[in-house]
Structure 1
Amino acid sequence: MDLNASSVEDYISKVPEDKRSAIIRLREIIRENIPKGFTETLNYGMIGYVVPHSIYPGGYHVDPKLPLPFINIAAQKNFIALYHHGVYANPDLLQWFKEEYAKLPLNKLDMGKSCIRFKNPEKIPFELIGTLVSKITVQDWIDLYESQLR
């Protein structure tokens, strides 16, 4: 779903009503729990949390003009997506997340490599997402990212 937004606030204002409150709450949870150093921005047409060039001047290897991405959230046509690059790059973190998710009385986990899909906005495990977000510092993410590039 391309919302053609110019800022995070503009993005939120364009999210369909049935998903807006969940996106707002997901954003709040991330902002409350993400370690210091990550910056909120609009990237790839989604709300993003990145390592800014001031901390990691090399940027993203695919396009060094872009900051190093870490987390994105988006309202898609049929779901809300949380893209967490740490679960893609760190098998231990992925395993932890799957085990913790399985303990919750929710639907089966719907997940791709880094994309966690929530088809029902009322069943997003916000507390678990907050814990997930807090588990990787900026330096941890840079180190993990660089180890994957080698």
Structure 2
Amino acid sequence: MQSTAPTIAAYLASLPDHAHAVLEPIDALIRRMLPSATGSMKYGMPTFELGKDRYLAYNAQKNYFSLYVDPTVVARHKSLLKGLDVGKSCIRFRRADQLPLETVEVLLADLR
């Protein structure tokens, strides 16, 4: 679902508790591992840019969560994402334990 929140902080604050508990640690990990990434709200979701052609984003949908990562990174780490609904750049999951922070950390390290 697209949010009308003007900032990432406002987006996270607007989430129901269960969604906030899943996405806030991902946001914190992104900020810790990619401090030079520029974060903003684009397409109604938190988006982080790492140069002109590299990006990542996350979102809470109605029935699942999405993490959007550069397609080349997703392709390189398909084995880590086994069992998840994975598109070209979108990783969909319903619970935090389906996409552990350790896996997100590997994806983010590949974006550096």
TM-score after normalising by structure 2:
0.85
- Total equivalences in the alignment: 112
2:16 aligned with 1:8, yes or no? no
Deviation at 1:136, TM superposition (A): 2.3
2:92 aligned with 1:117, yes or no? yes
Structure with the largest fraction of strand:
2
- Aligned sequence identity (%): 26
* Two-structure CA RMSD over aligned residues (Å): 1.9
User: How far does the alpha carbon of each residue in 1:76-124 deviate from its partner, in whole angstroms, 9 at most, with x for none?
Assistant: 111111011x2x2x2xx4343112334xxxxx12111111001123432
* Unaligned runs of at least 5 residues, structure 1: 57-67, 103-107, 138-150
Determine the C-alpha separation between the residues in 1 that align with 2:93 and 2:32.
20
Partner of 1:82: 67
Partner of 2:42: 43
Considering only CA atoms, is the larger Rg found in Structure 1 or Structure 2? 1
Tell me if structure 2 keeps the 8 A contact 1:22–1:122.
no
The structure 2 residue matched to 1:127, chosen from 63, 88, 102, is: 102
Tell me if structure 1 keeps the 8 A contact 2:68–2:89.
yes
User: How far does the alpha carbon of each residue in 1:23-72 deviate from its partner, in whole angstroms, 9 at most, with x for none?
Assistant: 101101111222x5321111111111014xxx65xxxxxxxxxxx56000
Q: Counterpart amino acid of 2:104?
A: I
Tell me if structure 2 keeps the 8 A contact 1:48–1:69.
no
* Unaligned runs of at least 5 residues, structure 2: none
Runs (4+) of structure 1 moved beyond 3 Å? 93-96
TM-score after normalising by structure 1:
0.66
